[in-house]
Chains A and B, each alone.
Chain A
Amino acid sequence: DGGITQSPKYLFRKEGQNVTLSCEQNLNHDAMYWYRQDPGQGLRLIYYSQIVNDFQKGDIAEGYSVSREKKESFPLTVTSAQKNPTAFYLCAVATDLNTEAFFGQGTRLTVV
């Protein structure tokens, strides 16, 4: 299954609640990424992490938070401050330069 697991596949939350999306990998890759995919917007980078205990904001980090306590895991929390949280979220992992990024199957979050 590509070594990247995103769970759950579908997630429903009430407005105002924080929610955490899981991304786990067993590829032993250093870099991990979170993207948001919206129709007509492509993939927009939320956060990325190059090594454990370090991460950087992407282009649309407001309203999101992450942690990287373990190499295998890079959870994304969608906070109540995110104005439009309903979206498809993709996690990816990669190793050093010039190599491909591997993507998870994604989590579709719906906030009602």
Chain B
Amino acid sequence: AQRVTQPEKLLSVFKGAPVELKCNYSYSGSPELFWYVQYSRQRLQLLLRHISRESIKGFTADLNKGETSFHLKKPFAQEEDSAMYYCALRSGGSNYKLTFGKGTLLTVNP
């Protein structure tokens, strides 16, 4: 069974402060991991995926297989980063099952 855990329901930081949204997963094979973001009144959309090793809007995430984690980080938070963030895991191989965590609501205060 695959599972995604986001331990923080809510996270509040001040503008310019570093932010880290935690994500841990449980999966026996080689997972594909993603971070999705939902801004107010907008559709859920992809923020980044581990396979690309990219930085989007200043956010990065590193897959740590030893700790089964995929934490999302940004060194200096901006007010426009305020949103709901979801970590997601997709099965490897031919199974396309895509599982999400419960999400973390990030609020960046001025």
Partner of A104, one of B43, B90, B98, B99: B43
For residue B7, CB closer than 8 A to chain A, the reply is: no
B49 with A31: CB separation less than 8 A: no
- The size bracket of the interface on B is 20 to 34
Other-chain residue from A41, A45, A104, A105 in contact with B97 (beta carbon distance below 8 A) = A45
Instruction: For B98, give its contact among A30, A40, A94 (CB under 8 Å).
Output: A94
Q: What is the total of A-B residue contacts with beta carbons within 8 Å?
A: 60
CA distance A97 to B86 in the complex (A): 18
Bound Cα distance A73, B32 (Å): 26
Residues of B within 8 A of A50 (CB): 94-96
The answer on a CB contact under 8 Å between A48 and B97 is yes
Interface pairs (7), CB distance under 8 Å: A43-B100, A45-B97, A45-B100, A48-B97, A90-B44, A94-B98, A101-B98
Q: Which residues of B contact A (CB under 8 A)?
A: 6, 9, 32, 34, 36, 43-46, 49, 51, 86, 88, 90, 92, 94-103
A residues near B (Cβ < 8 Å) are 2, 30-31, 33, 35, 40-45, 48, 50, 56, 58-59, 90, 92, 94, 97-98, 100-101, 103-106
